[in-house]
Amino acid sequence: MFVDDLQPDVTNIKYADDTTLYGAIHKSQVEISESSKSHAVLRLCDSPLQHATSYVKSWSDQNGMILNASKTTAITFSLRKTIQSDSIMINETPIQELSTAKLLGVVYDQHLTFSHQIDNVLGKAAPSFHALVQLKRAGVNSAGLLAFYKSRIVSVLSY
């Protein structure tokens, strides 16, 4: 409820102690200094995300909160293999640009391939798969194995 009056000019998601700003960058806001099928170097002109970040910094200051640039990250989604863009700044500190980011439990990569998300979910389910094998070796009946599978593995995979 405390951040209810935080209203940046871009779309945002507020959840518990986390606020995510996001928006599309239009061609008119980008200067491309280098470009190929696999690589692009971009310079953002008059970025709405930079304006929104500056607004959040100002709002934080007015409300006695600290916006920590070292705990703030950015990710740029693109179909190019690699992308470099100007950093969004908090005061004079650039926000770290990541190639993957986690939002509400989902891992996104900058090309939206979701391979990192699949690896993350399978990593969470792996101990339960191992336990299922151990239960089978211990002689647990099919009904018990199925109940374990549905409660411990299906829930992780379907989330």
CA-to-CA dists, residue 2 to 70, 104, 159, angstroms: 23, 20, 29
Reading the block at residue 5, the tokens are: 């009056």
Instruction: Please enumerate in sequence order all residues whose Cβ is within 8 A of that of 131, keeping only pairs 6 or more positions apart, or say none.
Output: 148, 152
Residue in 13, 92, 90 with CA at minimum distance from that of residue 58? 90
Q: Sorting pLDDT into bands at 50, 70 and 90, what band is 81?
A: low
Report the C-alpha gap between 21 and 50 in whole angstroms: 10
Reading the block at residue 87, the tokens are: 């950093």
For residue 18, the SS3 value is strand
Q: What average pLDDT does range 90-96 have in this prediction?
A: 87
For residue 78, the SS3 value is coil
DSSP letter assigned to residue 28 = G
- Do the beta carbons of residue 88 and residue 96 sit within 8 Å? no
Reading the block at residue 42, the tokens are: 């971009």
Tens of pLDDT along 9-67? 888 888 777 788 888 777 777 777 777 777 777 777 677 888 888 898 999 899 888 88
Q: Is the pTM of this model over 0.75?
A: no
Q: What average pLDDT does range 82-93 have in this prediction?
A: 76
